[in-house]
Amino acid sequence: MTKKTVRDIEVSGKKVLIRVDFNVPMQDGKITDENRIFEALPTKKYVLENGGKAILFSHLGRVASAEDKKDATLAPVANRLSELLNQKVVFVPETRGAALESAINELRNGDILMFENTRFEDIEGKKESKNNPELGAYWASLGDVFVNDAFGTAHRAHASNAGIAANIKETVAGFLLEKEIKFIGGAVSNPKRPFVAILGGAKVSDKIEVISNLLKVADKVIIGGGMAYTFLKAQGFEIGTSLCELEKVELAKSLLEQAQGKIVLPIDFAFTSKFANEPASHVGPITEIKADEMSLDIGPKSIEMFADILKTAKTVVWNGPMGVFEMSNYAKGTIGVCDAISKLTEATTIVGGGDSAAAAIQFGYASKFTHISTGGGASLEYLEGKALPGVEIVANK
């Protein structure tokens, strides 16, 4: 990797600003998925074990008003992090001011502090998400060096990444950001072949650039999920009431022509007359769909076909479920893809964040993948081949 990491700088005795992505799902004040916290631990441990003073900050959700604050505090995350590190995490419920500055100045080598949700600065004027210069300069003044370890926000230039980097001597990558650059960036720029990409999810419009870019570098692009029906419509099939972006049908035709056989679509489906977690009325090819039916998942022959394509793959990138996996009756396709990828012991297998990452974790396959990305939108933009602001700010070696 050409980017500097926290290994390349001296952290002992220094105030080390670390942008993390602790934008974790919460319910009734409890964290329901801790993956992003676990993935960020190595960087924290390295800084602490090497005598640095770790100063952590993150966003959590969207904060548009003072009313949003009570459900968006990072206090529960700080408490959980304290348990995981087995040491006190000083939590400062402020994003700026004398109390925060005093707490930072009182830190000793090996201490760790977290301050409040950076999006609290968005209540008036969106200072954080609009990269307010004064805010970025202020946060930079709190530390000596900046470690960006938040891949989940790397596709955005915010005060808490680009703003700080513009006002501090050196910005380096944390170990999580390093992993994301290595695996996702490497898959796009220099994959081992055969390279198979699997794309799912609801909309073609969300992944137009991803499909276009992957068609240039992948050997096969498997398309499932809701977006498959727009492609089937483009091939002239009737799709009943299945999800379809009619305004993108012509684009799908163009992509199919551009693909020259690289795009692989499902060959059978689970049909139902209503969007509910009830057993499918029947399973078969798209030609068997009734006018009042929709498909909510791929069928067993599609799973078998996809698994067969994957058998020889040396690099696999998967982004997006194959069906409505939140419903147990329509999770078979997504589970089938998880299972097929999990058996590729000699391939680099990457789950590109979002729903596919949630599915891999939910169905117990997390340990079977080489890498599960912590970034949803950031993963997509990286797969599109775009330069990410949160990666660009990191110093080169």
Residues with a catalytic annotation lie at 36, 203, 354, 377
Q: Are 281 and 273 in contact (CB under 8 A)?
A: yes
* 27 Cβ contact list (under 8 Å, min separation 6): none
List the beta bridge partners of residue 171.
Answer: 146
For residue 28, how many other CB atoms are within 10 A of its CB? 6
Instruction: Tell me the CA distances in angstroms from 186 to 180, 265, 311, 315, 357, one per residue in order.
Output: 9, 26, 21, 10, 19
Peptide bond into 389 cis (omega under 30): no
How far does Cα 208 stand from its chain's mean position? 17
Cα–Cα nearest to 20, from 154, 140, 170: 154
Distances (CA, A) of 394 to 48, 61, 150, 162: 21, 25, 12, 9
**DSSP E strand boundaries for 20-161:** 26-27, 30-31, 53-57, 89-92, 112-115, 145-148
